[in-house]
């Protein structure tokens, strides 16, 4: 028996995409810090990716879809 979905749940497909996006941000952050110094351009790029990921999470949580 499946539990009833709650408002704010994401579908498994959406969750996988969001997780992949977060992993890319983390990988880019680690790559930028690999040489011991994060440049301003790298910092702006990472911040932009993080902001985009946050917006995507918000949109996915509030899109009124859930099909387990």
Does the pLDDT at position 27 exceed 90?
yes
The rounded percent of the chain whose pLDDT value lies above 70 is 81
pTM higher than 0.75 for the full model? no
Phi, psi angles (nearest 5°) of residue 22: -65, -40
**Every domain of the chain and the residues it spans:** 12-61
Contact between residue 28 and residue 63 where contact means Cβ atoms under 8 Å apart: no
Residue 2, pLDDT score: 44
């Amino acid at each position: 028996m499946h539990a009833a979905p709650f408002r704010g749940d994401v579908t498994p497909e959406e969750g996988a995409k969001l997780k992949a996006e977060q992993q890319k941000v983390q990988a880019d952050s680690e790559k930028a810090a690999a040489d011991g110094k994060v440049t301003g351009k790298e910092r702006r790029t990472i911040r932009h990716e993080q902001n985009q990921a946050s917006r995507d999470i918000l949109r996915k949580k509030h899109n009124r879809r859930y099909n387990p």
